[in-house]
Amino acid sequence: MSEAFTYAWRDPVSDEEMVDLVRSHGGNDVAGWWEKIRAYSLGWVAARDADGLLVGFVNVAWDGGDHAFLVDAKTRGTHQRRGIGAAVVRLAASCARESGCEWLHVDFEPELRGFYFGACGFRPTEAGVIRLRS
């Protein structure tokens, strides 16, 4: 069976769709989250199935200049391991480049190394982080 997915930069995404997507893969869904943070985004990529269901998403935050930051990559639990995540990241990288960004950063849990370094083409780099809340 062949599946058709569409990928769009800055596709309108509702808060309800985001809550449903996060819930679908066992994440911590928070109503109002998307409405709150969307204003800080350079853009985002939404992946939809043939029925219009949101099946993948990634947000691109930025510093207003050369640096973009990939955050909140999500794939619907029932649609994982079909290339959707890699496709939304590729489109996000392309659109960030076209928007004038020089760098795209990403942080991730160790179990996602293969995805980001392999499927998405990121390379390891030195970085640091401070956890501000426990």
pLDDT tens column, 31-73: 999 999 999 999 999 999 999 999 999 999 999 999 999 999 9
**The domain defined by 6-119 carries CATH number 3.30.310.80:** no
Work out the angle at residue 101's Cα, subtended by the Cα atoms of residues 98 and 104, and round it to the nearest 5 degrees.
110
> Over the stretch 81-109, which tens digit does the pLDDT of each residue have?
999 999 999 999 999 999 999 999 999 99
pTM as predicted = 0.92
Quick one: the chain helix, strand, coil %, rounded to 5?
35, 25, 40
Rounded Cα–Cα distance for residues 34 and 15 (Å): 5
Alpha helices in 74-123 (DSSP H): 84-98, 113
- Going from N- to C-terminal start, the domains of the chain cover 6-119
